[in-house]
Structure 1
Amino acid sequence: MIEGSLPPLEFWCELQCPDCGTALDDVRALRERYGDALTVSLRHFPLEKHKHAYAAAEAAEEAFAQGRGWPFVEAVLGRVEELDRRGPELLLEVAREIGLDAEEVELAMIDGRHTLAVDADQAEGKAIGVKGTPTYLVRGRRLDGGQSQDGLRERIVALLEGPE
């Protein structure tokens, strides 16, 4: 465990992205290594090629609003292929399975209450050069995991523990 505070880690993610499911293993390992000293922020970057990604981002924002965001994200990323086939039906099923108010999740996808948050993440991502997912941002350095995730965890650790 590293003493003192660590810089935050931004995890730019898309919930219909198979690579993001793999990247979640790195996020879990980093959380295990650093515990509460590491703040991991999920940032949404839904890609146009995935038709359910935007709805999934809105549902995830509602899950965070209900205090179960990370369990929702992990469950959905574990079922990416199923999300591709079933869309919002799967999102609501996951919501129920992890104890969310599924009616509120469904309403959130309909009424757009989290559209601004998702759009803001996407706009910021584009502004800082995010082109795909998963992408990480640590100490202002962008690490693209969409091409290859080999060695990414080690590079993140070096940025977290290194000098500013």
Structure 2
Amino acid sequence: MSRILTTLGLLALLPVCAAAQDTQVAVGGLKQDTSAPVEVTADALQINQTEGTALYTGNVVVVQGDLRLAAPSVLVVYSEAASRLERLEATGGVTLVGPEEAAEAQRADYDFDTGTLVLTGDVLLTQGNSALTSESMIVNLDDGTARMTGRVRSVLQPSGGN
């Protein structure tokens, strides 16, 4: 977490950056088998069978394969027959960690049918020593690609660390 905060501080201080409105990013570390089981742990759980939802609150951690998502609150929505997951809505400040990348945002919405994860609100993506910020990022978990939109800012470290 301190690495992400340090990177965010560097973004504000470094004059060398690229700004754009829309950026395509390779996030191979966030590529995921979207049919893998989903494990959720939390301090509390409220189930609403009428609406087909489960609300996890307090130190929520969601794990699917190598992908780990943490947030204060996660709403899981099931299909009408409650036989499969439809979507997941994480709010209150979200941290997403994969083997090669880490991301932070205010909110994350995961659509299980499309394998799409949408991060919104002050998005910060770190890949090694490089960092990107934007207003939103749409991640295709099936192929490991992402699109960042809304005043994208990049801090890229040349190889060799100079």
Confirm or deny a common fold (TM above 0.5).
Answer: no
Greater per-residue strand proportion: 2
Higher RCO (Cα < 8 Å, 6 or more apart): 1
Q: What is the TM-score with the length of structure 1 in the denominator?
A: 0.24
TM-score (norm 2): 0.25
